[in-house]
Amino acid sequence: MRTAFMILPLVALAACATPREQCINEVSRDTRVLGALINQTERNISRGYALEQRQDVRTVRGTCRGRNEDGTTFIFACDETDTFSTTVPVAIDLNAERAKLASLQERFAQTQPAANQAIAQCIAIYPS
């Protein structure tokens, strides 16, 4: 559900982007994702643990108002459901995290030249 809320604004922004921006956005997606994963992994290593988002649900007792057929109002107890996110620390294997970082950096170095070439093609196709 949360993913849908994240994708909708991106779709709306993509609709407003110029053809050149859309092209560059498309061809650089993999390198952007790899860059974000590298940053996250580096932060995990420097902290010594990862951070994970968890969604929790709680029920809150409240009061609600109702209306009788004759138009008078009444108050009654009711429950409302509240969903919230919390960030919790998670233990990681630092050696595995370092290996993952090296792998991500290697993959990034492999994909960057092709992405730069594709971006240059987008600029050539859509000059302004």
pLDDT at 40 exceeding the cut of 60? yes
Q: Measuring CA to CA, which residue among 51, 44, 45 is closest to residue 88?
A: 51
Find the angle CA(106)-CA(110)-CA(115) to the nearest 5 degrees.
135
Q: Do 76 and 82 touch, CB atoms closer than 8 A?
A: no
Total domains present in the chain:
2
Residue range(s) defining the domain that contains residue 72: 50-91
- For residue 122, being part of any structural domain is answered with yes
- 43 and 97 together in one domain: yes
**59 and 86 fall within a common domain:** yes
Residue 5 banded pLDDT, cuts 50, 70, 90? very low
pLDDT at 8 over 90: no
Q: Is residue 8 part of a domain?
A: no
The pTM (predicted TM-score) of the whole model is 0.67
Phi/psi-derived region of residue 48, left when phi > 0, alpha when psi is between -120 and 50, beta in every other case: left
Mean of the pLDDT values across residues 7-21? 68
- Tell me, yes or no, whether 32 lies in a domain: yes
Q: Output the pLDDT for position 17.
A: 86
> Within a domain: residue 4?
no
